Amino acid sequence: MTQKTLYLALYKGNREGWGIASIKARFGDWITRKITRGIYSHCEIAYPLPSGGYACYSSSIRDGGVRMKVMPLPSEKWDLIPLETVPAADLDRVWQAARGKKYDWAGAIGTVLKIRQSANKWFCSEFCAAVMGIEDGWRFSPNDLAALAKSGAF
């Protein structure tokens, strides 16, 4: 990976459609936003690709755990905050350690209850916090990370 600016990508959209999966996803987004008191329900570390779009790294409920996925990040659904001081090597290091691990449901709930997560599972903001060099990333929601990143700390 050559050095390019990484981004904290924050999901503010809503899944479209009326199938069961879409309704469950919208409910999950809504409850996450309510519980964490913010506009974001998910976060990714996004790496811009020369061909367009982004390589997005995170742990996703919808995908079952830690994964990389190439996605467009349209501004009506995603906010991007540059992480100028976070080297791509940090993303590589965390990715190698977490790749393929399952989603941590208890840990995600623990961001609100402030209980420790599973060491063998990850949730989205925990993964992103690790890449950003934040210790005890299990304590942070996507909205918490957004506030830190917007403060210019990265």
Q: pTM for the complete prediction?
A: 0.89
Give the chain's mean pLDDT: 89
| pLDDT exceeds cutoff 60 at 85 | yes
Of residues 116 and 45, the one with the higher pLDDT is 45
Return the domain boundaries, the chain.
6-151
| pLDDT exceeds cutoff 90 at 31 | no
In this structure, what DSSP letter does residue 74 have? -
Nearest to 80 by CA among 54, 51, 61: 54
- What strands, in cross-sheet order, belong to the sheet with 54-60? 78-83, 6-11, 42-48, 54-60, 65-71, 102-103, 121-122
| pLDDT exceeds cutoff 60 at 1 | no
Handedness of CA 68, 121, 114, 60 (dihedral sign): positive
Relative orientation angle of helices 142-150 and 20-36, to the nearest 10 degrees = 60
Taking residue 43's Cβ as centre, other Cβ atoms within 10 Å add up to 31
